[in-house]
Amino acid sequence: MSVALIIGAGAAVGKLSAEAFAAAGYKVAVASRTQRFDPAKFPFFEFDAAEPTHLPALFKKVHQEVGVPDVVIYNAYASLRGDHGVLDIDSPEGFQKRINVNGISPTIAADEAVKGFLKLESEGKLGPQGATYIFTGNALNDKPIKGFFSLGIGKTTAAYTLEYLALHGHNDKPFSFYYVDERRTDGRPMYKGVNADAHAKVFLELAQNPEQGPWQYTFSKEEGYAVFSKDW
């Protein structure tokens, strides 16, 4: 049975994604600071995405207790509220934690995910759908937006990681890498009202396709995948 690991399994995108993958026959493990789901259905692993050095231990535990994931979804994020100056730095420590959550941890998670993908392939346990790593992104890698400095730095770091892996990461293997970004139909960012059900549907579709599609997977709920102008 295929295994999906969702890191940053919150009450919206994380929850509906876990349910969608479980309904499709996956064993689904969830990792976050707080347990939100029934652990009998979704094995829970406590994890703080601000601590990237803890990721190897998280993956090792998931491998041992659930199985090696052929789908890894990184859905954790951290942002800062309030006015903290042009660069929204509240403190060096706070800024570092947000960069860890939004940029460093998803990069380390991608590396750990690929190690698992290679293990599955070497043991002949990789299914026809291949293996997929997905990051929940937004429009900040395309254009800086006032008030979202540290979030944008992190998302841009993650976007580079996903593009790099999609272009240069084991192209001879059925591994896929995606930066998934929901937009409005006119290409504007989803500042509010992100559609968790649409994310879950897109995640599952990407995971079940063994071919690498567009690494920057921008979509709207109404129209699906689309390439949007950067002049929004």
pLDDT of 143-199, one tens digit each?
A: 998 888 989 999 999 999 999 999 998 889 999 999 999 999 999 999 888 999 999
In a domain, 24, yes or no: yes
Question: CA 172: distance to chain centroid?
Answer: 23
3-class DSSP state of 164:
helix
The CATH number covering residue 83 comes to 3.40.50.720
> Residue written as tokens 């934690």?
97
In a domain, 143, yes or no: yes
Tokens of 47: 């994890």
Whether the pLDDT of residue 142 is over 90: the answer is: yes
pTM exceeds 0.85, yes or no:
yes
Q: What is the pLDDT of residues 28-39, one digit of tens each?
A: 999 999 888 888
Band of residue 13 on the pLDDT scale cut at 50, 70, 90: very high
| Domain count within the chain | 1
| Nearby residues of 38 by Cβ (< 8 Å), 6 or more positions away | none
**What percent of the chain shows pLDDT beyond 90?**
81
Q: What is the pLDDT of residues 208-223, one digit of tens each?
A: 999 999 999 999 999 9
Report pLDDT for 191. 84
In a domain, 230, yes or no: no
Give the residue numbers spanning the domain of 96. Answer: 3-225
In a domain, 232, yes or no: no
Four-point Cα dihedral 159, 162, 163, 169, nearest 10: 160
